[in-house]
Amino acid sequence: MSESTPTSPTTPRVTIIGGGVMGGTMVTALRVAGWPVDHITVVERDSARAAALAEGHGIAVGSDIAAAVVDADVIVIAVKVYDTEEALTHIAPVYRPGALIHTVVAGLTTSFYEERLPGGAPVVRSMPNTPSIIGHGATAITAGAHADEGHMALATDMLKATGLVVTVDESQMDTVTAIAGSGPAYFYAFVEALTEAGVGQGLDRELATQLAAQTFLGAARLLVDTGDTPDVLRKRVSSPGGTTIAALKALSDAGLDGVVAAGADAAAKRSRQLAEELG
């Protein structure tokens, strides 16, 4: 497939299978990137969700997968992992050779799609996270056996409005899932824990939540904007004999590094299991 820019007369026609969080995020990203509404179609069987997408974006929304993908240049798979195989059974008979398959489904390898589609189908796999909804996501993409630089460039164009987009080897995607895909949940869990600590020491719950959330937001912005390492920034806050160093020692003694590693390991393992269960 030759590379096309979103503003060219040959803007790829994109069909998104699944109108949930990730499917809706892809619609928003495409619109921000310049895709016209008549080049975006969504397949969503939930009537309320379909109506919301059609009204909110002015795009075509239907329920028939085969009818929606027959003329598509790009087919985005954004369904739940256990619904993916069924979606591919509808796509395969009408798949147009050369159309890009862009999957945002966790766990399933590019070969999963290649084995279920006509030979030579180019597949790009990406792993957006939920902050992509507001343009502050972190997404990794990887190429299947038949995807070339043009396909990767097109996938990047589709995702650039969601935030950071990086390219990795497919062997790293389970780890990306564990770090970036599941990472927002770790953050929310830590905010909840810090909030409870504040409440336990007398703060109002709403105030404790606001302080914790804004502190993490500011810390992350400082890390990104300065380009300094987390170690350097941590040391700037950790005066010898002060409150922060005491807190960090307590967290270390409680096994913080091991707890985080255990969580990431469990997420990566589960991502691999999903592929094995369905593959």
Q: Tell me the domains of the chain and their CATH numbers.
A: 14-173 (3.40.50.720), 183-275 (1.10.3730.10)
pTM, entire model: 0.87
Counting beta carbons within 10 angstroms of the beta carbon of residue 153, is it exposed (0 to 12), middle (13 to 18) or buried (19 or more)?
middle
Q: What is the structure's pLDDT at 275? A: 83
Q: What is the structure's pLDDT at 4? A: 42
Q: How far apart are CA 249 and CA 241, in angstroms?
A: 11
Choose among 247, 244, 249, 246: nearest CA to 233: 244
Which residue intervals of the chain are DSSP H helices? 21-33, 47-57, 65-69, 84-91, 110-114, 149-159, 173-176, 183-200, 205-226, 230-237, 243-253, 256-278
Q: In sequence order, what E strands does 85-148 have?
A: 100-103, 123-127, 137-143
Please identify every stretch of the chain with a pLDDT value under 70, giving residue numbers as ranges. 1-9, 279
